[in-house]
Chain A
Amino acid sequence: MFKRKKKAQKNTDGNQSYWAYVARQFKKNKRALFSLYFVIFLAIIALFADFIANEKPIICKYEGKTYMPVLKQYAVGLGLAKWPEAFKNGGWKEKEYDFAIWPIIPYLPNNLDYDAQWASPTGRQICACECTSVLDDECVESNKCGNNKLADCNKASSCTLKVIKKTPNWKEGMAEDEVIKYCKKQEYSIWRHWLGTDDIGRDVAAGMIHGTRIAFMVGIIAMGIACIIGIFLGACAGYFGDTGLELSRGSLFINIFAFFIAFFYAFYSRSYIMSDAFGVSFGKAIWAFFIGILIFLAIMAIANIIALPLNKIPFLGKKVAFPVDIAITRIIEVINSIPLLVLILAIVAIAKPSIFLVMAVIGTVRWTGIARFIRAELLRVRRLEYVEAANALGFSQMRTMFRHAIPNSLSPVFIAVAFGIASAILIESFLSFLGLGVPAETITWGKMLAISRTNASAWWFAIFPGLAIFITVTLFNLIGEGLTDALDPRLKQ
């Protein structure tokens, strides 16, 4: 008993040492290691975007009670709690708090700030002051005050100023010079738009932070879908080859027949249910699709049970090989034959804009690379002794494949995923740059970059979002390179 346990321990040690070796190799590559840390940092930003850029205070004391609005926002979003009366109508910044800690960027990407249109990161950009016409009508008539901005007001010396936006430190009845002083101070306070704004005063910094979340989501979900499809199909192609999957004639016939029946009941007769669900929300559509897959699998399973007695008949029981490899490589070839971007553009063009659809489309198109990697790996692995041993022990083919063969062939998939995330992020930003596929209210890096085309003097739109895309893509590419070097067996000596 003891001995066996020890042996098992040793075995996992051996298993770990391969990954320990890979980790060691990876750590040697300073650029890749740095990129990994940077990506983790960005992932943390993406995860805590609501705490970094938000219109609500993180903690505030209002009318004697302490609230944590950002945390509460999640509870409200999940339907677990309701906003108290005081906060129901928003207006977070107009309230007079006893005490408040604001996020580093006190804006949401969709918040409009009409006092700061096209505010430049380097220029003057205040905001909370406005001309009044009480003292000097001439000032307003001659329109010296321009857009009611402090910058213009200072030139028109005869104007009086008043603060209209109540920010936490401002008090009623401030003298004029005090107001100006306060405004100047405030210009470099947390209310400043550090990276500028667009034509309707949306904060660029907030958009950058929340854009990180979307970019990461696109990369991870798209590659997640690609991995599921790619690993499964690639593994089937590699493991079974053209001769590995033997079916009796009866099963083959029934499977082909059942495929159509299952398709009919799972998807065709439910097509209206699914399209209605898609009209409601993407989550509902996924759920309807998932139920469809369950029905499909159930019918296929029933068909295979029916096939069992049929196989006793000599003619139907004779085994034939199903050319899995040919079938799957053909599918890969079909998808690879259409230029990726053209295909994605064409699909996105006919569907309703949705960020999840973009993820799903990228995922369902980008799996071929992963499938090819894992196919090549399994073609090699299936000849190894331990797979033969597993077969000799009488394990089912599925078990051998999923429990023994696939876990040992996953390393090239990591490389493909790292590069894949980079290209998924690139494709998504490209699509939103063109204004395709992503709904209007979602702020992404690509969309912000596109704003620079409408106003060339707003250089901050040309630089910051593009830089974010570039850095993220480069980091994932560097990690991919590092993994390639670390996993490459040729470097093992």
Chain B
Amino acid sequence: MFKYILKRVLIFIPTLLVISVMVFLLNMYAPGDPVYNIAGIDPNSSKPLTPEAYNAIRGELGLDLPVFYFTMSSIAYPDTLYRIPKKEHKATLGRLINDHGNWEEIREYHRSIEALESRVLEIPRDSLNPKALIKIKEKVRGLYRIHEDIKIQKSLESMEKPIASAPSTSILQPFLEDTRTKYQTMVNNPTKWKTKVPTLNWYGFKNQYHRWFSRFVQFDFGKSYQSKRPISEEIGERIFWTMLISFISIILTYVIAIPLGVFSARKKDTLADSTVTTILFILYSLPSFWVATLLIVFLCQPEYVDWFPPYGIGDPAPDAGFFETFRIRAYHLILPLFCWTYASLAFLSRQMRGGMLSVLRQDYVRTARAKGVDERKVIWKHSIRNSLLPVITLFGNIFPLMISGSIVIEILFSLPGMGQYLYQAIVAQNFPVVSTIVMMAALLTMIGYLVVDILYAVVDPRITFD
């Protein structure tokens, strides 16, 4: 047994690594610049981050490291491209490399833009140039983002007029000229063949993925973009509610579903059985987000009846006694619990009925009955254990449920749990939170599978692990 568990845990590791790479990739392709997100500043605002502040946050997030242990690219790409600070600059440079293939010239061009920008920032605002200066600034920043030939030409041309318009800005003329010549050299000396030759770059262990994953293993999940608080702290606050509700719901499910399934199997082909089966089937097919919507619309609104509160977990006074708090909480949780429970209840009862029916057909059950064992004993002693396998399978689902919860119920009833946290993170594009929850959900799912396998062996001694 111990050997089996050890083997399974060892198999986990590569699976978890693959999942972590997938989640990391998802993070990489997420839109937006993480530095601006964590600083809470819109990159297009009038006051963008200073380069020093930008680089400080970037270093703090580890974004100045290479992305992965190795990269596959063409020889046109320098292996130091990751050192370019800004994400959008990197994207434009990647495009330029893809179009022209001559990194040396592209770098010169990029530096000439940087020189131009730094000169623009040095020019003080005076009465002669306010509009022109703003326009030049805009155009220069725009150069970082465009890679199409026509657009760059146009942009360079359109800068000429505002630069010439005031004496203070006309000192930029040589810099603009420099950018233009650098651009021309870049366009005129393409080495596009370089983009067609593959190469492999090795970066070693100092990379973003390694950093992210090793921190994840130590439960350091980073900071949320929204609240700027550590994600582990926020999860700690929210996991209680999801765990509480899923725990109660699972208990309810088991307590109702197992006897119901057994009852239905024993009374097979009677009116009672077909009624129960039909109701369970309908419950099983009812989308829980529809049921929750119906309940909220028709039972929680003053337009119809408002028996229940439509959202939240209640707000008991801090000095309220235990029973008062319990009453308020329970009152708020009745509908969510119902929605949370009915679907798994229907599923489990149907499984239980099916399992029981196939067990009741077995020879040993017939033998037990033939030798005159009490029917109750036949069911609860001889048969139940063998029909429990589907029930155990559901038990494995509890673990991931703790994290992902029943997303829709938490959203609809505004419960402050993990599901709602995930949804809010997705809507706000808060990717550190999304990737943390995906990773934790995956981890717990795997633990769930392991627990289920072990429980199978406990319930059914015929299953061995060798």
A in complex with B: yes
Q: By the criterion CB–CB under 8 Å, are A466 and B293 in contact?
A: yes
Q: Which residues of B contact A470 (CB under 8 A)?
A: 285-287, 290
Residues of chain B contacted by A474 (CB below 8 angstroms): 281-282, 285
- Which residues of B have CB within 8 Å of A466? 287, 290, 293-294
Binds B, one of A67-75, A77-85, A344-352: A344-352
In contact, B290 and A469 (Cβ under 8 angstroms)? yes
- In the complex, whether A337 has a CB less than 8 A from a CB of chain B is yes
What is the minimal beta-carbon distance from A381 to any residue of chain B, in angstroms?
A: 24
Chain A interface extent, by class = 35 or more
A426 to B291, CA, bound (A): 13
Tell me which residues across on chain A come within 8 A of B297, comparing CB atoms: 452, 456, 459, 462
Bits for A244-270, please: 1 = Cβ < 8 Å to B, else 0. Answer: 000000000000000011011100110
Say yes or no: is A285 at the interface (Cβ < 8 Å to chain B). no
B73 pairs with A268, CB closer than 8 A: yes
Q: Which residues from 15 to 32 on chain A have a C-beta closer than 8 Å to any C-beta of chain B?
A: none
Assess the A462–B198 pair: CB atoms within 8 A: no
A449 touches B290 (CB 8 A): yes
The reply to whether B285 and A330 contact each other, CB–CB distance below 8 Å, is no
Within 8 Å of chain B (Cβ to Cβ): is A339? Answer: yes
Q: Is the CB of B284 within 8 A of A477?
A: yes
From B14, B18, B284, B411, name the one whose CB has the most chain A CB atoms within 10 angstroms: B18
Contact check: which of A338, A339, A341, A449 meets B293 at CB < 8 Å? A449
**How far is B197's CA from A261's CA once the two chains are assembled, in angstroms?**
10
Q: Do A346 and B434 have beta carbons less than 8 Å apart?
A: yes
B303 contacts A342, C-beta separation under 8 Å: no
Question: Nearest-CB distance from B427 to chain A (Å)?
Answer: 8
User: Does A411 count as interface, using CB distance less than 8 angstroms?
Assistant: no
Q: Assuming the A-B contacts A346-B434, A434-B411, are A330 and B303 also in contact, with contact meaning beta carbons closer than 8 angstroms in the complex?
A: no
CB distance from A327 to the nearest CB of B (A): 11
Tell me which residues across on chain B come within 8 A of A443, comparing CB atoms.
none
Find out whether the CB atom of A337 lies under 8 angstroms from the CB atom of B303.
no
Say yes or no: A334 contacts B438, CB within 8 Å: no
Q: Would you call A264 and B72 a contact (CB within 8 A)?
A: yes
Please name all residues of chain B whose beta carbon is closer than 8 Å to the beta carbon of A433 when the two chains form the complex.
289, 408
What residue of chain B has the Cβ atom nearest to residue A422's Cβ?
B285
- For chain A, residues 316 to 360, give those with C-beta under 8 angstroms from any C-beta of chain B: 330, 333-334, 336-339, 341-343, 345-347, 349-350
A54 an interface residue at 8 Å Cβ cutoff? no
Given contacts A452-B297, A477-B285, contact A339 B400 (CB under 8 A): yes
A455–B442 CA distance with the chains assembled, in angstroms: 37
Q: Does A364 contact B (CB under 8 A)?
A: no
Rounded to whole angstroms, the CA-CA distance of A473 and B437 in the bound complex is: 29
In angstroms, how far is the closest chain B Cβ from the Cβ of A427? 10
Flag B435-452 by CB within 8 Å of A: 1 or 0 each: 101100110011001000
Evaluate contact between A342 and B437: CB separation under 8 angstroms: yes
CB neighbours of B72 from chain A (8 A): 260, 263-264, 268
CB neighbours of A341 from chain B (8 A): 404, 407
Chain A residues near B232: list those with CB within 8 A. Answer: none
Report whether B15 and A347 are in contact in the complex, using a CB–CB cutoff of 8 Å.
no
- Whether A469 lies near B287 (C-beta < 8 A) is yes
Residues of A close to B431: CB separation below 8 A: 350
Chain A 425-466 interface mask (CB, 8 Å, partner B; 1/0): 010011001101000000000000100110011010011001
A272 CB-CB contact with B under 8 Å: yes
* Contact call A349/B429, Cβ cutoff below 8 A: yes
How many Å from the CB of A418 to the closest CB on chain B? 13
Closest to B147 in A: A272
> What is the bound-complex CA distance between A469 and B282, given in angstroms?
13
Give Cα A345–Cα B442 distance, bound, in whole angstroms: 14
CA distance A2 to B134 in the complex (A): 90
Where chain A touches its partner, the secondary structure class is helix
A346 touches B26 (CB 8 A): yes
| Complex contacts, A452 vs chain B, CB 8 Å | 293, 297
The complex places the Cα of A462 from the Cα of B404 at a distance, in Å, of: 26
User: Closest B-chain residue to A268, C-beta based?
Assistant: B72
Residues of A within 8 A of B408 (CB): 430, 433-434
A342 touches B438 (CB 8 A): yes
Contact among B95, B196, B438 with A272 in the assembled complex (CB-CB below 8 Å): B95
Residues of A within 8 A of B395 (CB): none
A350 with B26: in contact, given A272-B98, A345-B407 (CB under 8 Å)?
Answer: yes
Contact A334 B31 (CB under 8 A): no
CB proximity of A138 to chain B, nearest CB, Å? 34
Give residues 396-443 of B contacting A (CB, 8 Å).
400, 403-404, 407-408, 411-412, 422-423, 426-427, 429, 431, 434-435, 437-438, 441-442
> In chain B, residues 9-43, which have Cβ atoms closer than 8 Å to a Cβ of chain A?
14-15, 18-19, 22-23, 26, 29-31
Judging by beta carbons under 8 Å apart, are B31 and A342 in contact?
no
Q: List the B side residues contacting A449 at CB < 8 Å.
A: 289-290, 293
B173 within 8 A of A: no
Chain B nearest CB from A334 CB (Å) reads 5
For B201, the chain A residues whose CB sits under 8 A away are none
- B298 contacts partner chain A, Cβ-Cβ < 8 Å: yes
Q: Which of B73, B303, B427 contacts A456 (CB 8 A)?
A: B303
Cβ-based interface call for B118 (8 A): no
Given the interface contacts A264-B72, A341-B404, does A436 sit within 8 Å of B426 by beta carbon?
A: yes
> What B residues does A263 contact at CB under 8 A?
72
On chain A, the residues within 8 Å of B19 by CB distance are: 334, 337-338
- What is the CA–CA distance of A268 and B75 in the complex, to the nearest angstrom? 13
Q: Is the beta-carbon distance between B287 and A430 smaller than 8 angstroms?
A: yes
Q: Which residue of A lies closest to B32 (CB)?
A: A350
What is the distance, in angstroms, from A268's C-beta to the closest C-beta of chain B? 7
Closest 8 CB pairs of A and B: A466-B290, A456-B301, A474-B285, A349-B426, A264-B198, A462-B297, A457-B303, A338-B442
List 13 other contacts, CB 8 Å, given A339-B403, A339-B442, A470-B286.
A264-B74, A264-B198, A268-B198, A330-B15, A330-B18, A338-B19, A433-B408, A436-B427, A456-B303, A459-B297, A459-B298, A474-B285, A477-B281
Interface residues of B (CB under 8 A from A): 14-15, 18-19, 22-23, 26, 29-31, 72-74, 94-95, 98, 195-196, 198, 281-282, 284-287, 289-290, 293-294, 296-298, 301, 303-304, 400, 403-404, 407-408, 411-412, 422-423, 426-427, 429, 431, 434-435, 437-438, 441-442, 445-446, 449
* Cross-chain pairs A/B with CB under 8 angstroms, 26 sampled: A265-B196, A269-B196, A334-B15, A337-B19, A338-B438, A338-B441, A339-B404, A339-B441, A339-B445, A342-B404, A342-B407, A342-B438, A345-B422, A346-B435, A350-B431, A422-B285, A433-B408, A436-B426, A436-B427, A452-B293, A453-B412, A456-B303, A457-B301, A463-B294, A466-B290, A474-B285
